[in-house]
Amino acid sequence: MKKLMIFCITLVLFNCNSNAQKEKKTSFKVSKTDAEWKAELSEIEYNVLRKAGTERAFSSPLNKNSKKGTYVCAACGTPLFKSEHKFDSGTGWPSFDREIKGNVAFGKDSDLGYSRDEEHCATCGGHLGHVFNDGPKNTTGKRHCINGAALKFISE
């Protein structure tokens, strides 16, 4: 019985962290070597966009940005979010209630032991953040929680 219990726990742990759960496609319109990405991106941009890292909460100046314009991918310049869809979620990361359709792709992320909906740039595959169902109820109900390091802001 003890061996069966250990086997079941081991099976659950390996299934929770399986790479098979990540549905991110591997070929993108913009594709570069790791060395090319490292040369083009800052250290934090590279860590977030290429290694699926997370910046410290409240560390991005884009979190409090209230100017009108478009948020684009810091790696390839693809337009991802519009300023009119940005809101202050209080989480410490730029948050939006919707993406620009077709420019953001989704996958599953189970790195923390539970499944989350990951967002990445549909053009270059750069990791952006995650989307949750606790956004503004008067709009989409979604909270796209995005690393500021994954974005550049283009003012109107």
Catalytic residue among 73, 76, 121, 145: 145
Contacts of 36 (CB under 8 A, 6+ apart): none
Enclosing H/E stretch for 50:
helix 43-51
Active site residue 121: no
Q: Could you give the C-alpha distances from 89 to 39, 99, 147, in angstroms and in order?
A: 33, 16, 13
Which two three-digit tokens encode residue 65? 């940005």
Is 150 in contact with 63 (CB distance < 8 Å)?
A: no
Report the Cα 39 to chain-centroid distance in Å.
21
- Amino acid (1-letter code) at residue 105: A
d(CA 19, CA 57): 27
Return the active site residues.
Answer: 145
